[in-house]
Amino acid sequence: PRLTRAVLRTTARATRNLSRHMALRTRAIDDVVVSEALAGSRQLVLLGAGFDARAWRLDALSDVTVFEVDHPATQADKRAAIGAQAPLAREVRWAAIDFARESIREVLARAGHDAHARTTFVWEGVTMYLERSALDATLADLGAVSAPSSVVTATYHDAAFRLEAIPLAWVVRAAGEPFRTRMSPSEVRERFERRGFAVERDEGSDDWGRRYLREPTYRNGERLVVARRRGEPIANTSQK
């Protein structure tokens, strides 16, 4: 254990905490996904799913249908990499989308998503690349397809943090996908509330460090908001 901790701390220093951050962010979102599944959410929507592997590694999703929403080219690469590996989730539905032409509500309806049933939405590592108009359009779609008690968990960049301090900002800018939007927690809360969601948590890497590592860690400006759709809860048996 001592050697492992030493290696992880050295790696964290060498990557300016990027290696540690990705693990902590993943764990924080996993906890939301698992707790919602245990509470009766039977649909999980991954917005901009990329190579997210939650459907293949979280056994708490055994009664959950996972909707993977992403560009068809990305999905083709992912499906080729997965091969014949069976998911731990009840089912995985591939909801291919052309973000420039199609709305999320249209794509989810086509994939069989039940807008009247409780759903967990994961919007991880996406908002900072979008303009505010695209953020608002997505939130409008989520508000339209979220049944009461559904949850959205989304990451965003805090406007109070200097992005120049994050090495990843240099990398994505060089790759032609610069960070475009930073928001304050109050702006995030207002945007979610406008679409019918109540913010339950808004936390960052320093919170995750105390929770999971039991030690003070670092701040890199990325935060995670967890917001629940207002209204009467849907009975857990609605989709069984």
pLDDT digits over 107-150, tens only? Answer: 999 999 999 999 999 999 999 889 999 999 999 999 999 999 99
Q: Is the separation of the CB atoms in 159 and 187 below 8 Å?
A: yes
> Residue 213 burial (CB < 10 Å; 0-12/13-18/19+)?
middle
Q: How confident is the model at residue 175 (pLDDT cuts 50, 70, 90)?
A: low
CA separation, residue 156 to residues 46, 89, 97, 101, 187 (Å) = 16, 27, 22, 24, 11
Q: In whole numbers, what is the pLDDT of the chain averaged over residues?
A: 88
pLDDT surpassing 70 at residue 233: no
pTM, entire model: 0.87
pLDDT digits over 59-116, tens only? Answer: 999 999 999 999 999 999 999 999 999 999 999 999 999 887 899 999 999 999 999 9
Tokens of 235: 């009975």
What per-residue confidence (pLDDT) applies to 179?
76
What per-residue confidence (pLDDT) applies to 240?
36
- The mean pLDDT of 181-206, rounded to a whole number, is 95
